[in-house]
Amino acid sequence: MPDPARTPARKFTFDTVFDDEGATSSEPSSYRRLYTAEEAEKLAAAARAEGEALATRRSQAQAARALAELAEAAKAALSTLAAVAHEHRVGSAELALAAARKIGDAACERFPEAPLQAALAALAREVEASPRLILRAEPDLLEALQAALKETAEAIGYPGQILAKADPTLAPAAFVLDWGDGSAAFDPAEAAARVAAALEGALAAEGLHAEALPPLNPAEEA
């Protein structure tokens, strides 16, 4: 073992590597880089920008998901509202139809000759060349209806003969008017049934088509 007192002194060269025998090496080794204040600020700014961009992307993705969920909820709500609105329209139409039937029945009872007079006035041009008109009506109203028909015939200038025949199968205010080349008939119950059928068809068509919602465009879906 060498004597430390006899080992010659040597100048310290700031070496970083020493082997087992005391040899030194001045070869550079890995070290931690030191940044200037300006470089550190740039790195910090870049890190902040990257973090903000990531947060923005996450926020946008969450907003898109929330909008998609809201759109689905709105579709479901609109479908429910459409069904409720349609049900309300059907109920309102049925109520109006029931009221109209009551009013119509009362009008036919009070003025049974009115439908017959309106029919002859509307058919004036068709019956003007016919030599006679044949009226069939309910027996109890036959005389009154025949008188009303003659009155209307005089008003429109019809010169032909008017014959009346009793038909017990006809309801009050119902009639059949025949002029040879054609005929016209009216039955309050049948007329009400035709109105109800037409109304039911219109409501069914509206329920299938009128409530359809326009599709969302891609921007709205996003």
Query: What pLDDT is attached to residue 2?
Result: 55
Q: What CATH number matches the domain at 112-189, 3.90.580, 3.30.360, 2.60.40, 3.30.110? A: 3.30.360
pLDDT 10s digits, 30-51: 556 677 888 888 888 888 888 8
Cα(178)–Cα(163) distance, rounded to whole angstroms? Answer: 10
Please give, one letter per residue, the 3-state secondary structure of the chain: CCCCCCCCCCCCCCCCEECCCCCEECCCCCCCCCCCHHHHHHHHHHHHHHHHHHHHHHHHHHHHHHHHHHHHHHHHHHHHHHHHHHHHHHHHHHHHHHHHHHHHHHHHHHCCCHHHHHHHHHCHHHHCCCCEEEEEECHHHHHHHHHHHHHHHHHHCCCCEEEEEECCCCCCCCEEEECCCCEEEECHHHHHHHHHHHHHHHHHHHHHHHCCCCCCCHHHHC
- How confident is the model over 99-113, as a mean pLDDT? 82
Return the closest-CA partner of residue 149 out of 169, 123, 110, 172: 123
Assign 171 a pLDDT band (cuts: 50, 70, 90): confident
Tell me what pLDDT residue 12 has: 57
Domain extents in the chain: 112-189
**pTM for the complete prediction?**
0.51
What mean pLDDT value characterizes the chain? 78
Kindly tell me if the per-residue pLDDT of 122 is higher than 80.
Answer: yes
pLDDT confidence of residue 222: 39
Backbone angles phi, psi at 172, to 5 degrees: -55, 140
